[in-house]
Amino acid sequence: MTKREFIEAVSKPQENAGVSKKKVEEIIAEAFSVMGDSIKKTGRFTYPSFGTFTVTKRAERKGRNPRTGEAITIKASKSVKFKATPTLKESL
């Protein structure tokens, strides 16, 4: 699903309430901004019956340049991991 499709899906039920697609887009953007801020600040964001986003740390590791085959060192980094709730998993 693309961003446009997501906004369309969320705005359809709101059309009767008089909420424009532009307003829905702003609300969605703000929701993701709040989620991102929470993950940065506390290292996790949980939404009941959906799942939990957590920050994970990846250690520095050895790798290879696929073009040259040269050995390289890949720097340590942080990433976000998602774990779905059992309710969401069952609905799949």
Give CA–CA dist 77/60, Å, rounded.
8
Domain holding 42, by residue range, is: 3-91
**What angle, rounded to 10 degrees, do the helices at 3-11 and 21-42 form?**
120
* Beta-bridge partner residues of 53: 45, 82
Instruction: Tell me the pLDDT tens digit for each residue of 29-81.
Output: 999 999 999 999 999 999 998 999 999 999 999 999 999 999 999 999 999 99
Decide if 55 contacts 79 (C-beta within 8 A).
Answer: yes
Return the pLDDT at 19.
Answer: 81
Return the pLDDT at 56.
Answer: 95
- The larger pLDDT score, comparing residue 71 to residue 21, is at 71
Q: What is the CATH number of the domain that holds 7?
A: 4.10.520.10
Q: Per the structure, how many domains does the chain have?
A: 1
Check whether 16 has a pLDDT greater than 70: no
Quickly state the pLDDT bin for 21 (edges 50, 70, 90): confident
